[in-house]
């Protein structure tokens, strides 16, 4: 089994690229999706996680590691995995590597200038009626301010997508991510991807790096 972790700030496009790569044989796992699936299935780990989530608390690292290990242990041994949303800290990365089932072989860092990250995140708009998402610059609706899907004029910016909040989130992220990048650089598994390219170019670059690693 080969495990690659996806590193990058909110808005860097790593989730979008991971979904594209599932078409060429990679399995994409987000820790958020795994948590929701475990809770829905009523597993023991899911119930443990729910107890913290219901109180608005972060799920402790040991539960997250056990959840990831349990999920991956059920997969074919030749699986190629993209893990999104975890680790976020060096202790989490160390815990992953300490478990034989979750050892990381490649860390893909999606690098994007902060100015572009701010532009991507602050430009997002969501239809309050049907949930359709847009971007005022990159994916605008056909008629300004009107949802293509349902015709509603309730296209809103999320409260956490204002510039002040976005810059604060990025500041916290950068402090955490610096340690992670250093950790994986020292293990010689860090690969940086230029995330300011067109999506197709990013995918081509990713495929080259992933195919070279997974041979």
Considering 153, 158, 185, 194, which one is annotated as catalytic?
158
- Cα–Cα distance between 10 and 148 in angstroms, integer? 25
Q: Which residues contact 73 (CB under 8 A, 6 or more apart)?
A: 101
Active site residue 14: yes
Considering 14, 48, 80, 125, which one is annotated as catalytic?
14
Active site residue 185: no
Active site residue 215: no
Considering 36, 50, 169, 209, which one is annotated as catalytic?
169
Q: Does an H or E element contain 93, and which?
A: helix 90-98
Strands (E), 164-204: 190-194
CB atoms within 10 A of CB 76: 7
Considering 27, 48, 124, 125, which one is annotated as catalytic?
124
Contact 75, 1 (CB under 8 A): yes
Considering 19, 88, 167, 209, which one is annotated as catalytic?
88
| Residues identified as active-site | 14, 88, 124, 158, 169
């Amino acid at each position: 089994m080969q495990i690659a972790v996806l590193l990058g700030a909110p808005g860097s496009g790593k989730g979008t690229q991971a979904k594209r790569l599932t078409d060429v044989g990679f399995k994409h796992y987000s820790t958020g999706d795994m948590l929701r699936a475990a809770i829905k299935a009523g597993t023991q780990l899911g119930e443990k996680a729910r107890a913290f989530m219901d109180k608005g608390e972060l799920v402790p690292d040991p539960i997250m590691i056990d959840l990831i290990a349990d999920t991956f242990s059920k997969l074919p041994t030749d699986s190629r995995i993209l893990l999104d949303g975890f680790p976020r800290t060096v202790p989490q990365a160390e815990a992953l590597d300490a478990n034989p089932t979750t050892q990381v072989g490649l860390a893909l860092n999606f690098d994007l200038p902060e100015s572009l990250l701010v532009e991507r995140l602050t430009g997002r708009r969501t239809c309050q009626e049907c949930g359709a998402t847009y971007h005022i610059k990159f994916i605008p609706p056909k008629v300004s301010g009107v949802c293509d899907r349902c015709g509603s004029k309730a296209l809103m910016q999320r409260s956490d997508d204002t510039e002040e909040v976005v810059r604060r989130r990025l500041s916290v992220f950068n402090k955490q991510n610096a340690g992670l990048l250093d950790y994986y650089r020292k293990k010689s598994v860090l690969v940086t991807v230029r995330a300011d390219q067109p999506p197709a170019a990013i995918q081509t670059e990713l495929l080259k790096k992933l195919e070279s690693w997974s041979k």
